[in-house]
């Protein structure tokens, strides 16, 4: 697998976590969520419509985000997403799980001798 394909697979599995994290700072519409993920990752992570909107729909179905329609000044409407209390708790859980995973992978990559040996 090429490095960019590997990154894409990691992104696919973590899209909901990234969305919840961005929304933890306030409500945003879909395009703004995608741009914020891209900005925070210095362009390394890009959420396309094909992954962003299905993830937002799933988060909404799980009641981790809510959505409402707002009118722009030009008269266009856009859907704005807001993190719920349940979403905030889920983000905390996902963040802990991710950090545990990263520590475990780092230990393997470093060849850490600190890890307990199997009996």
DSSP state of 42: T
Q: Is residue 50 part of a domain?
A: yes
Over residues 57-107, the pLDDT tens digits come to: 999 999 999 999 998 777 788 999 999 999 999 999 999 999 999 999 999
Token couple for 97 = 């799980």
DSSP state of 116: P
| Residue 60 CB-half CA count within 13 A | 14
Question: What three-state secondary structure class fits 19?
Answer: helix
Span 102-114, average pLDDT? 85
Q: Is residue 34 part of a domain?
A: yes
What is the number of structural domains in the chain?
Answer: 1
Q: Is residue 35 part of a domain?
A: yes
Residue 12 above 90 pLDDT?
no
Percent of the chain with pLDDT over 70: 86
Radius of gyration of the chain (CA): 17
pTM for this prediction: 0.83
Tokens 């995608």 locate to: 34
**CB 67, CB 19: distance < 8 Å:** no
Span 41-63, average pLDDT? 94
Domain that includes residue 77, residue range: 3-109
Token couple for 102 = 């990263």
């Amino acid at each position: 697998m090429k490095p960019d394909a590997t990154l894409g697979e990691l992104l696919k599995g973590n899209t909901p976590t990234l969305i919840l994290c961005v929304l933890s700072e306030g409500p945003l519409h879909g395009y703004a969520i995608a741009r914020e993920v891209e900005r925070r990752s210095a362009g390394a992570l890009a959420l396309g419509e094909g992954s962003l909107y299905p993830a937002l729909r799933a988060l909404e179905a799980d009641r981790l985000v809510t959505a409402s329609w707002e009118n722009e000044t030009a008269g266009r409407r856009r859907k704005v997403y807001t993190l719920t209390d349940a979403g905030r708790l889920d983000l905390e859980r996902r963040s802990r799980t991710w950090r545990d995973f990263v520590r475990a992978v780092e230990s393997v990559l470093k060849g850490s001798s600190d890890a307990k040996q199997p009996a």
